[in-house]
Chains A and B, each alone.
Chain A
Amino acid sequence: MRAPLVVFGLLVAAAAAAPVLAPYAPERIDLAARREAPSAAHLFGTDELGRDVFSRVIYGARVSLAVGLLSAAVAGASGVAIGGIAGYGGGAVDAALMRATDGMLAIPRLPLLMIAAVVLQPSIPWLIVLVGLAGWMETARVVRAEFRSLRGAGFVESARACGASHRRVVVRHLLPNAAAAVAVSVTLAVARGILLESALSFFGVGVRPPAASWGNMLYQAQSTLGSEPWLAIAPGAFILLTTISVSMIGDDLAEQSVARRL
């Protein structure tokens, strides 16, 4: 089951090598070649300004993948911090943090982000932070559960008895045990981040034109589905390819961590 990793690796490599791979500059307007169907010169056709869709898809990959990966990092880091404090601290802190987690989970993620994006008009780095902050809850729950089940374990008690600080217990003993579960939840957060970015941009409140992201390319393609369907097919297919490969990587990680436990 290495195929999803290879696909995802290729996508990341293509995004990184965008200036080399893209035959045209992504924002280069060519009014003589507007709305052209896919051809040898323009693999995925051109849009209403004559921009090359293939080049835009490759450059868009940079934005979409960056939002997916970095927002998952934000979500993972805040999830580990919040879940760790709740699980290790216990008591009232735990109760308060878990209520906050439930509260965040009760708000539909996409509408909340849509409002936040309209209100705050975020640049791409802020968009990454927003998407990340909307996704820490799953990781927090997983980490809290792991910490709570391990807090009373013999090896933790013996480490404490040997004089290890709380910090050392958490970093050296608890976190490594929670790592597998965190990896699964962060992988899922990557797929979710990519989907959220594309949906936000599709509704015109995420990545703003002229910068290309897969979502805002679909936003622009929406009005010309009948005459220029290629504008809608390529960006969507790339979103799907990415989210499928990421979810399959997540499934593999989950299976491995279950297998290790048995």
Chain B
Amino acid sequence: MHLDGILLLQQLINGISKGSLYALIALGYTMVYGIIELINFAHGDVFMLGSFTAVTLVGLFGITNSPLTDPLAIIGVLTATFLITMTATGLLGVVIERVAYRPLRNAPKLAPLISAIGVSYILQNVGSAWKGPATINFPKIFPDTQYILFSNGSSDVRVRTTTLLVLASSLILMVALTLFVQRTKLGKAMRATAMDRETAQLMGIGVNFTIGLTFFIGAALAGGGGLLYGLLIGGVQFQIGFQAGLRAFTAAVLGGIGNIPGAMLGGFLIGMVEAMSDNFLDARWTQAVVFGVLILILVFRPSGLLGQRVAEKV
């Protein structure tokens, strides 16, 4: 098979748009891991519930089959859906932390991880009880035009409005997060808590509040990701969280877990690995390819691409 430049470019675009979603979810994994060294297994399912919240809201706004045409209405609906979904999942994240993880903060390390697996199953069941087991259609909020970027006569590279929106919104969210973590006092508190919880507490930082905030932000980003996923894929189902969550986790590890720019980079890379594997290998092998990547990174470079090599705390 000769390498088709057009096809490659098209897959690159697909990969980047899917990857930006993984990046959004990966941020939640990486932030939580950075601050309490917990693989928040339930994070993918928070993302799934985010997409369910979004599809419910869009239905409540009265959008069923025909997309809106009025630009103001589109912006209004999108903003409202974003804000409500992100707040809802953010609060869910805080509740999960409060109920299932905080009491285990000083327990043996595997206890919160097992608890997180339990929460993941509970959330999946909530999802399937809420919307049923079948894939539900995610209505188009705006007309999805396809733009042709390049063309060589026989085939062309296309980009959809949705892809652009997904890219733009995830980039905005990531920039906002970076600014928050780097420039604000709360962000500084988060970094301090991640660095050394006890010292941070001695410096007067409310550690519990800061950890709760981290969960809120991580879960809110996953919720936003859920909405964008619905728009991009066009359908949501209660098991999407497991798959997407694992890929996002792989992305977080690839970038270097605990490292925020690393999670973004990892997300884009995993999105591209997935698109390339879907297209050039076969979609049925993608799962194995992604996990193969995960295992290889963990074995050969557990610190990830951007992470620093840190000795395990004894």
Is B one of A's binding partners? no
**Residues of B in contact with A (beta carbons under 8 Å apart):** none
Residues of A within 8 A of B (CB): none
